[in-house]
Structure 1
Amino acid sequence: MSIRLRATVVALLLLTPLAGVAPATAGPPRTNYDVLGDSYGSGVGVPPYDPASLGCARSQSAYGVLVDGRARLRLDDFVACAGATTTSLVAGGQLAALDADTDLVLLSIGGNDIGWSQAVTACLGGTDAQCAGASALVRGRIATVLPGLLDTLHAKITAAAPQARVVVTGYARLFSPEYGAYLGASPAEQQVLNEGADLLNEAVAAAAARHGFDFVDVTGRFVDHGVNAPEPWVLGAFDPAAFHPTLAGYEAYAAAVTAAIKPGRNS
């Protein structure tokens, strides 16, 4: 074979795809998601906060940001805002982040609607009677007020993002009563507050189920990590962001959310 002919054959081989070799693929498409909700969604407790968030205290250590890149997720809009309730979430414009092309919504909401922080304050610094009264008031709101508020919000989310999968996160238990009293809250009072958190989570989970949303329970991940535990994942009463997760706490949230969405189902 001449040198010229040999060169021609080699060139043809290089230009011809090998038989049986499948072309490279880009893999499954990424899931674009939005993060809505309250301070547990915005990342209160792990500053610095985005100065452009206008008091919403949005942190890059929020669980909704930490999951960016996991399970082929891509963060689109991060609009969760500290202090948000079911109604202020709507009035504050968070739903504007959603549209017909939204794949996934991460949502944390409900705690501010029932005055949860008031019960915690009453049990830490008030009398036994004040603690019991505040806890009973919160339980009543969970049973009678919160379900309707959540239903109204969830219907609006479905209307704004009809194709999206919605993942709702619950709230952590704040205390580890086995480690004794914390400030003015006895182990028994801490247990009452933890049971209140359980009731809140049950109401949030039930509302999510009524609308075909998924619920992520973080309670088990915070066992032995309450505010009075040796390794707390909840910030103490004297911290500016009292009773919000630490960085380790938000990482636990991110792990729970990642586990829930890992199968890649978007609807």
Structure 2
Amino acid sequence: MKLSRLASVAATLAAVLGLGIGGAGVASAQEAAATSYVALGDSYSSGVGAGSYYSDSGSCRRSSKAYPVLWKNANAPASFHFTACSGARTTDVINNQLGPLNSGTSLVSISVGGNDAGFADAMTTCVLQGESACVSRINQARQYIANTLPGRLDAVYDAIRAKAPNARIVVLNYPRFYKLNGSCWVGLSETSRAAINAAADHLSDVIAKRVADHGFTFGDVRGRFTGHEICSGDSWLHSVDWLNITNSYHPKAAGQSGGYYPVMEGLA
């Protein structure tokens, strides 16, 4: 009788545990299916440089290989809105991208701030005008990042939270662009490359601080891109692309899938 009772208890416990595991799996699947995801931001979120652009996205160059689409394909959210746009600044996000957000939005991703800081102009200066002009322009960008950008980030983060009060908001940063002492033999000087990397780190630090103060989630992609910078021999970033200049200094498809998507997947 004792053995029989023990067997019965064991069977009951196994059934309960089995139901518990099954229930958790069902809950997780239901949670994923109920997700309402909106992807905001600039060219690093729209997927410039990755190719395979949606024809209806025009100059925004939204790519089917961008990390928001990769996350959508892997997780099948209940709804997905992709409003990220090449060249977007914080004001562009506020004015043009927040339409899909509402109280039912449960997940938002964004990368923004690089264009506010004059990224494109700084890189053009570095490529065309030499080391002294490059370092001077980078220092000017860093002053903007330190003194003006925090307020711009606060404005866009506040606007997102106001329209999506219940959402988990994931803010992704930018990679370092160059592997120092790498395999590049022509182009920018090592001093210019180091200055560009330092500015990218400064930008990431400012973004991370504002994200933390707003209670959002910071997604740091720099670790994923380490070993895959320009001059690494296995770059996930375009260098200057004279045949398609818009690709320059943007992630390739491998940078979206190997750099940005795993960070987004791990946080969302």
TM bracket (short chain) = 0.7 to 0.9
Structure 1 residue 228: deviation in Å? 2.0
Q: Does 1:176 align with 2:141?
A: no
Instruction: Please name the residue that 1:254 is paired with.
Output: 261
Q: Following the alignment from structure 1 to structure 2, what is the Cα–Cα distance between the partners of residues 175 and 147?
A: 25
Q: Which amino acid aligns with 1:217?
A: D
Q: Following the alignment from structure 1 to structure 2, what is the Cα–Cα distance between the partners of residues 175 and 63?
A: 22
Structure 1 residue 128: deviation in Å? 2.3
Structure 1 residue 62: deviation in Å? 0.4
Q: In structure 2, the residue corresponding to 1:221 is in which secondary structure?
A: helix
- Which sections of structure 2, spanning at least 5 residues, go unmatched? 1-14
Q: Does 1:87 align with 2:91?
A: yes
Q: Which amino acid aligns with 2:65?
A: S
How high is the TM-score relative to the length of structure 2? 0.84
Q: Does 1:36 align with 2:40?
A: yes
Q: In structure 2, the residue corresponding to 1:127 is in which secondary structure?
A: helix
Structure 1 residue 195: deviation in Å? 0.5
> Can you list the C-alpha shifts for 1:144-183, whole angstroms capped at 9, x where unaligned?
1100000011111010000001000000111112215564
* Richer in helix (by share): 2
The structure-2 alpha-carbon separation of the partners of 1:182 and 1:210, relative to structure 1 and needing over 3 Å to count, comes to: farther
Instruction: Please name the residue that 2:7 is paired with.
Output: none
* Contact preservation (8 Å) 1:124, 1:182: no
Q: In structure 2, the residue corresponding to 1:112 is in which secondary structure?
A: coil
> Can you list the C-alpha shifts for 1:64-101, whole angstroms capped at 9, x where unaligned?
11112546755511110111000011222x11110000
Q: Following the alignment from structure 1 to structure 2, what is the Cα–Cα distance between the partners of residues 179 and 75?
A: 43
The structure-2 alpha-carbon separation of the partners of 1:258 and 1:128, relative to structure 1 and needing over 3 Å to count, comes to: same
Instruction: Please name the residue that 1:59 is paired with.
Output: 63
Q: In structure 2, the residue corresponding to 1:192 is in which secondary structure?
A: helix
* Contact preservation (8 Å) 2:239, 2:249: yes
* Contact preservation (8 Å) 2:51, 2:253: no
- Percent of residue pairs bearing the same amino acid type: 36
Q: Does 1:114 align with 2:117?
A: yes
Range with bigger deviation, 63-72 or 147-156 = 63-72
Q: In structure 2, the residue corresponding to 1:136 is in which secondary structure?
A: helix
The structure-2 alpha-carbon separation of the partners of 1:43 and 1:99, relative to structure 1 and needing over 3 Å to count, comes to: same
* Contact preservation (8 Å) 2:122, 2:138: yes
Q: CA RMSD in A?
A: 2.0
> Can you list the C-alpha shifts for 1:167-225, whole angstroms capped at 9, x where unaligned?
00000111112215564311221011001000011111111111111111111111121
Alignment of 1:21-170 (within 5 A): 22=19, 26-28=26-28, 29-30=31-32, 31-70=35-74, 73=77, 76-92=80-96, 94-170=97-173
Alignment of 1:179-194 (within 5 A): 179=182, 181=184, 183-194=186-197
Q: Does 1:225 align with 2:192?
A: no
Aligned length: 242
Q: Which amino acid aligns with 2:80?
A: D
Instruction: Please name the residue that 1:10 is paired with.
Output: none
